[in-house]
Amino acid sequence: MSSQKGNVARSRPQKHQNTFSFKNDKFDKTVQTKKINAKLHDGVCQRCKEVLEWRVKYSKYKPLSKPKKCVKCLQKTVKDSYHIMCRPCAYELEVCAKCGKKEDIVIPFNKEPEKTENSENNQRANHRRSCKRNEESDDDLDFDIDLGDTDDNQVD
Ligand SMILES: [Zn+2]
Ligand SMILES: [Zn+2]
């Protein structure tokens, strides 16, 4: 029979549970939505990027089911919704892949940090196999001790 100290300590009332912020994945937690939310709008100008982000935010972004025709090379190479040009064309002409104007590109196509990171991880994974990491994260343990073993110390 231990008094439930843990519950008593929680005296702060929750204020304003419903701070309004629109989150589309609140209503639709499909993989597709997650994918779209994680999408990087590269190769477009600031204005187009904002438009794309707006569409994503309000669930108006519709991914392409099949590649669209590029206005430059006339191949069906456009894989991004609302883009009028494929990546190689936009990159070569240094224009926005969505509106086709010569604007400043927010995130250039050639920036692909993920790739290098992956190959590096693979190399390190092999190394790690031989020496298992010994350190356990003791963050959780500390937290438990603070709550339970108060040792006559008054915890405020
Ligand atoms: Zn093209
Ligand atoms: Zn644009």
Domain range annotation of the chain:
31-105
Ligand 2 center to 91 CA (angstroms) = 13
Ligand 1 center to 154 CA (angstroms) = 69
- Nearest ligand, measured from the Cα of 93: 1
Q: What letter represents residue 90's amino acid?
A: A
pLDDT recorded at residue 143: 46
What average pLDDT does range 9-22 have in this prediction? 63
Distance CA 64, CA 39 (A): 13
What average pLDDT does range 59-85 have in this prediction? 96
pLDDT recorded at residue 30: 82
Q: Provide CB contacts within 8 A for 78, sequence distance 6+.
A: 64, 67, 68, 69, 70, 84, 85, 86, 97
Backbone angles phi, psi at 78, to 5 degrees: -85, 115
For residue 51, give the nearest of 119, 107, 98 by alpha carbon.
98
Q: Is 121 strand, coil or helix?
A: helix
Using a pLDDT cut of 90, give the percent of the chain over it. Answer: 43
Tracing tokens 């709008």 back to the chain, one arrives at 41
Ligand 1 center to 60 CA (angstroms) = 25
More confident call, 127 vs 156: 156
| Structure confidence by residue, pLDDT tens digits, 108-146 | 986 554 544 455 555 555 555 544 454 444 444 444 444
Render 17-46 in DSSP notation, one character per residue.
Answer: TT-----GGGT---HHHHHHHT----SSBH
What's this model's pTM, rounded to 2 decimal places?
A: 0.54
Ligand 1 center to 116 CA (angstroms) = 26
